[in-house]
A and B are shown apart, each in its own frame.
Chain A
């Protein structure tokens, strides 16, 4: 079994050295199709993200979202903020209210 080159003895005679010489056209067609498909999928994914953003801003108001850094400071009882862009495997569940800041440090909350 040999998928391409089997000798480096005559380097001057070596042309294409990749395996399966002759499938270049097929490779280009596959790569082009995947390239187009990827952009379609990427655009859909990005639009889904924008729809979620718009839903949020309609819920809490754009003014407030901008002032408070995108909804991190929503109090209890107010509409929950949903996000799916927090990192690997994030659940996209409702974000909790911030802890009280009684000590002025903003850390720990207790």
Chain B
């Protein structure tokens, strides 16, 4: 945590700074983290009807969602932003499962991806006009403060969020997954996936919970029946290749 002199020559003023070297208050950030955690947990508890998994995940989503501006938000703003972002992430999680049939088993994409993206975008609106960073050499910012420093603005934050989550997050992961898929290393055979990775060795470890499946497992099972599940032992690559060709 850099502590810099942000005062003048005559009146030095030492302050903790954030990663952009803007002055900040550590105790304020800490309180905001706690309140955004609280907001996220309370909101997702309600929306998931008391589901423990989503209550805890929602807390994390709240922290991540408010983090983009937690050094400057009012504590109650942090609480509300955390709650709103966590609810949207929860809704998006199930929307993506239903519409695109993409599984996010531990909710990581929802908690880190959707919440992080939304948090940066929301901060662009709430902190509109705040000094964003010191002026770099040879840099001509689009939006500036009265003093000529780069200013926080919705467009900049949206572009930043797209770069961070789309270009640096989604794109490399997508390319890597394509490469793994090409070599048959991305997925296990579908029958093994449905039964569980170690069921053939250990049996059903949780026999009493076999009916407690998530909505996505129902979708997955239906799709497997439609496609015809490969049940014979064989290489993963063969099955993946045949799925690609189909």
- By a beta-carbon cutoff of 8 Å, the part of chain A in contact with chain B is 1-9, 11-12, 16-20, 24, 27-28, 30-31, 34, 38, 41-42, 45-46, 49, 72, 84-91, 93-96, 98-99, 107-110
Secondary structure at the A interface, as helix, strand, loop or mixed, is: loop
Top 10 closest pairs, chain A to chain B, by CB: A108-B203, A2-B129, A18-B74, A86-B212, A89-B214, A27-B76, A88-B53, A107-B203, A6-B145, A11-B13
Asked if A96 meets B210 with Cβ closer than 8 Å, knowing A88-B53, A107-B202, the reply is: yes
- By a beta-carbon cutoff of 8 Å, the part of chain B in contact with chain A is 6-7, 11, 13, 15, 22-23, 42, 45-46, 48-54, 72-74, 76-77, 79-80, 83, 94, 107, 125-131, 145-147, 149, 151, 153, 202-205, 207-216
Question: Could you tell me the distance between the alpha carbons of A95 and B54 in the complex, rounded to whole angstroms?
Answer: 22
Asked if A6 meets B146 with Cβ closer than 8 Å, knowing A30-B80, A86-B212, A88-B214, the reply is: yes
Report 21 cross-chain contacts, Cβ distance below 8 Å, ordered by A residue.
A7-B147, A11-B13, A12-B11, A19-B72, A19-B74, A19-B126, A19-B128, A24-B74, A30-B80, A34-B42, A41-B46, A49-B50, A72-B208, A88-B53, A89-B51, A89-B216, A91-B215, A93-B212, A95-B208, A95-B212, A96-B211
Residues of chain A with a CB closer than 8 A to B15's CB:
11
Secondary structure at the B interface, as helix, strand, loop or mixed, is: loop
Asked if A6 meets B151 with Cβ closer than 8 Å, knowing A11-B13, A18-B73, the reply is: yes
Q: Would you call B214 and A90 a contact (CB within 8 A)?
A: yes
Question: Could you tell me the distance between the alpha carbons of A96 and B23 in the complex, rounded to whole angstroms?
Answer: 59
Nearest-CB residue, chain A, relative to B154: A1
Question: Could you tell me the distance between the alpha carbons of A50 and B183 in the complex, rounded to whole angstroms?
Answer: 52
Question: Could you tell me the distance between the alpha carbons of A99 and B209 in the complex, rounded to whole angstroms?
Answer: 12
Residues of chain B with a CB closer than 8 A to A9's CB:
147
Which listed residue, A1, A90, A93, touches B128 by the CB 8 Å rule? A1
Asked if A42 meets B129 with Cβ closer than 8 Å, knowing A17-B72, A18-B74, the reply is: no
What's the least CB distance linking A55 to chain B, in Å? 17
Asked if A96 meets B128 with Cβ closer than 8 Å, knowing A8-B6, A12-B11, A17-B72, the reply is: no
Q: Would you call A38 and B46 a contact (CB within 8 A)?
A: yes
Q: Would you call B13 and A12 a contact (CB within 8 A)?
A: yes
Nearest-CB residue, chain B, relative to A39: B42
Q: Would you call A98 and B208 a contact (CB within 8 A)?
A: yes
Question: Could you tell me the distance between the alpha carbons of A109 and B208 in the complex, rounded to whole angstroms?
Answer: 12
